[in-house]
A and B are shown apart, each in its own frame.
Chain A
Amino acid sequence: MIAKGAVAIAEGRIGKPLEKYYAGRTRAPLQRSFIAFKSSAWLVVLSGFVEPVLYLFSFGFGVGALIGGITATDGSTISYAAYIAPGLLATSAMNGAVYDSTWNVFWKINESKLYQGMLATSLGPLDVALGEIAWALLRGLMYAIGFMIVVTPLGLIENWWGLLAIPAAVLIAFGFASFGMAATSYMKSFQQMNYINMLMLPMFLFSGSFFPLTVYPEIVQWFIKVLPLWHGISLIRGLTLGQIDSSILVHILYFIVMIALGLWFTTKRLNALFLR
């Protein structure tokens, strides 16, 4: 059998949905990330895993020893470490996804011109966006599994629902990655990139990661509840503490909408940047 040529492959896509934007080859840019990953800086990779663990030991067990436990909504008392562990997992999912979809993507758009190269082939912008996001999610998945391997033996996961924190972390990462990539397409300089960090740090500190929102006046609580990280933390916390109710579905829906909007937006932007 003769191997299929580039033209025959591209012609085969005619009539398929989204044919101008999607060539059905998400795995090509994903494979590129795998190859590049093999020779990447392992220390940087490892830091994504170490960071939340360090926070957990410092705040969870250090500060936690001073304040004892936290009273949950159902009246029971839980250890401080068990309270913040889901917040740290959600935050590391966010940080990893945002890092991959902003700094990495910014570099590939503006410095290495990698996407120009990809889009000069028969790939579509949606292939590129999905491939890059899929890579961010795989990394997020690895970090989440690593974190769970550390916290479960410490007794910070209350029940079997806690295992679902891993896919939940991937869902959170998906939401942030799809939006991060769209936002990055507007950035013109490395200085502007710092705005992203300026948004993320306060979100990490005040989204109920270290203490319940009830310490704030109601209006501030509502503001925080609009932000994505609060939904992420609440989702994972509900799962690890076994507080399963309908609010879980609301959080999941929040991220599904975020993902859909982010992908639509990213595809549009990549199209505007490279195929206009």
Chain B
Amino acid sequence: MTSLISARSLTKTYGDFVAVDQINFEVRKGESFGLLGPNGAGKSTIMRMIGATLQRSSGELAVLGKDPEKFGPQIRAHLGVVPQQDNLDSELTVRENLYIYGRYFGLSKKFLTPKIQELLEFAQLEEKRDVKVEALSGGMKRRLTIARALVSEPEILMLDEPTTGLDPQARHILWDRLFRLKEMGVTLLLTTHFMDEAEQLCQRLIVMDKGKIMAEDSPAELIRKYVTKEVLELRFGSDKNSLYVDELRQKCDRIEQLPDRILLYTNDGETLLTEIVGSGLHPITSLVRRSSLEDVFLRLTGRSLIE
């Protein structure tokens, strides 16, 4: 498979601060690739370097085989960019936003008229076509931003924290739209600090922390490699959690103590819980769940994704 984006020792520094630290990765044609990490991990910085709006400090970067610093406008013509913060044109209507964005790419009215209709349908915004952007809900604005990014028929769609700030229903609608794009063969590159989003949308991802790559693989493979199948979450009350950690440690593969609860990693949560209760311990609450990327991140960095 051909790689659309390839980074070699890619680095970005601001003075002494290293935002992106010698990272390597490849994004292949047609896949959906994620950058997962907490705020400040360097995800947006990478996105901007790929989008040819930020120069790298060192290393190599090729987007569609070209250096973004030498062929900025040409590379940007291949990309659809959905920034973290909506930057829709608030003085214009929904339809006008799509039209003028196409004009920025130099696209003709003839090209844009059917395209806009198609995108309004895709973004489920047909009824809002002549409404000013200000009057849209957060979810509608995001969908419009995605539709706008698609107006130039980009080969790669780049989404920076696509569902941050949206309510659960709006997130699911958005995921559904992105899933359809994936099916249509659009290459997706997205950043997120939501592990469920990464699990839903990414075929392959890199886990990032402090400008470095901690791990790279598919979500399922990362979970298999770094954590057990299941997690048992126990709460004994905020002051008492630490009292039981040592005792519990011997019963499972790995244990993590969080401020409000204890996580026990095991391949069979129910059996472990029965065993613990049988040994005379009585947690206030208990929950058995499947391991997630959140647990992978905790394992790799010792910290939670959302702090």
**Stretch from A28-36, A61-69, A146-154, A183-191 that touches the partner:** A28-36
CA separation between A117 and B90, bound complex, in Å? 12
CA separation between A11 and B73, bound complex, in Å? 8
**Interface presence of A75 (CB below 8 A):** no
Question: Do A6 and B153 contact each other (CB < 8 Å), given the known contacts A13-B73, A20-B72, A114-B89?
Answer: yes
* Residue in A31, A114, A117 whose CB lies within 8 Å of B103: A31
Q: In whole Å, how far is A25's beta carbon from the nearest beta carbon of chain B?
A: 6
Q: Considering the complex, give the chain A residue whose CB is closest to the CB of B73.
A: A122
Contact residues in A for B55 (Cβ distance below 8 Å): 275-276
Best-surrounded residue of B74, B101, B107, B154 (most CB of chain A within 10 A): B74
**Interface presence of B53 (CB below 8 A):** yes
* Residue in A3, A11, A14, A124 whose CB lies within 8 Å of B108: A3
Describe A's contact surface by its main secondary structure.
loop
CA separation between A29 and B105, bound complex, in Å? 11
Question: Do A116 and B107 contact each other (CB < 8 Å), given the known contacts A31-B100, A121-B76?
Answer: no
A residues 119-169 near B (Cβ < 8 Å) are 119-124
Q: How many A-B residue pairs have CB under 8 A?
A: 117
Q: Mark A3-38, 1 if CB is under 8 A from B, else 0.
A: 111110111011000011001010011011001100
**Interface presence of B152 (CB below 8 A):** yes
CA separation between A14 and B88, bound complex, in Å? 29
Interface size, A (range): 35 or more
Contact residues in A for B51 (Cβ distance below 8 Å): 120
Q: In whole Å, how far is A269's beta carbon from the nearest beta carbon of chain B?
A: 15
Q: Considering the complex, give the chain A residue whose CB is closest to the CB of B80.
A: A120
* Residue in B96, B101, B108 whose CB lies within 8 Å of A121: B101
Q: Are A4 and B108 in contact (CB under 8 A)?
A: yes
Question: Do A5 and B89 contact each other (CB < 8 Å), given the known contacts A11-B74, A13-B73, A31-B100?
Answer: no
**Interface presence of A40 (CB below 8 A):** yes
* Residue in A3, A5, A25 whose CB lies within 8 Å of B104: A25
Residue positions of A touching B, CB distance < 8 A: 3-7, 9-11, 13-14, 19-20, 23, 25, 28-29, 31-32, 35-36, 39-40, 112-114, 116-124, 274-276
